[in-house]
């Protein structure tokens, strides 16, 4: 069933963006063996706008929807990802057009690299290690946004039993960006202690519980 957001928003000069009320996409991150992370990307069907490029599952927002609701809905429609399998961590406004059209990236975690079911808008779906994302031919909008969306890995070395079930996960540290926290001894990233500002960005115990 088509929503009331389907349609083009046109900026001065004739530049158009899909979604009468803006658009949203889901950046879904999942753990890999060894402590790293992967993100779910969609290889866009040839007939679609910027077909052949890779980007996030996403699409037009309906008039009644928040960006979060739209992004999770689109991931279910385009990739078969159940809303129950997604833990939203943050939102980023990643594009604003002269028309007022916006694109919001909703950042979320999954417990693992979930199976996917592509619809007609995808040539394929893939869980791509974060280090390999820029090797793909990316949608220009996603390529520009990825710089601020990529998560830097950090190894937490003082995890107590009550905090262990909260890892691995994405955290959004104000002023620093996104980090992928894990406790794999031989995994990627710098070593940090919680609540310790001398080892880089300060990650608190409260961050793990948020």
CA distance 88 to 85: 10
How is residue 208 annotated by DSSP? H
Say if CB 61 and CB 19 are below 8 A apart. Answer: yes
- Give 67-82 pLDDT, tens digit per residue: 999 999 999 999 999 9
Give the CA angle between residues 143, 149, 152 to the nearest 5°.
120
Q: State the pairing for strand pair 23-31/37-44.
A: antiparallel
Instruction: Map tokens 């389907």 to a residue.
Output: 6
Return the H-helix or E-strand segment holding 66: none
Q: Give this prediction's pTM.
A: 0.91
Which stretches in the chain have pLDDT values below 70?
A: 1-2, 19, 46-51
Other CB atoms within 10 A of residue 195 CB: 12
Instruction: Note whether 26 and 56 are within 8 A (CB).
Output: yes
116 Cβ neighbours under 8 A, 6+ residues apart? 40, 79, 80, 81, 125
């Amino acid at each position: 069933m088509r929503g009331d957001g389907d349609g083009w928003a046109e900026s001065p000069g004739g530049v158009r963006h899909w979604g009468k009320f803006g658009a949203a996409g889901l950046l879904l991150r999942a753990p890999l063996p060894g402590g790293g992370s992967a993100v779910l990307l969609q290889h866009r069907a040839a007939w679609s706008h910027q077909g052949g490029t890779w980007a996030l599952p996403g699409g037009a927002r309906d008039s009644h929807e928040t960006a979060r609701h739209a992004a999770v809905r689109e991931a279910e429609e385009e990739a078969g990802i159940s809303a129950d399998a997604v833990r939203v961590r943050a939102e980023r406004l990643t594009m604003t057009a002269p028309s007022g059209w916006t694109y919001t990236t909703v950042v979320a975690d999954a417990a693992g690299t979930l199976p996917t079911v592509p619809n007609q808008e995808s040539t394929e779906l893939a869980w791509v290690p974060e280090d390999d994302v820029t090797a793909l031919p990316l949608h220009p909008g996603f390529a520009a946004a990825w710089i601020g969306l990529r998560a830097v890995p950090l190894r937490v070395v003082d995890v107590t039993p009550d905090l262990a079930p909260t890892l691995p996960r994405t955290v959004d540290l104000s002023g620093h960006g996104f980090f992928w926290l894990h406790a794999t001894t031989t995994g990627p990233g710098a070593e940090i202690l919680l609540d310790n500002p001398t080892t880089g960005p300060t990650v608190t115990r409260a961050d793990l519980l948020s």
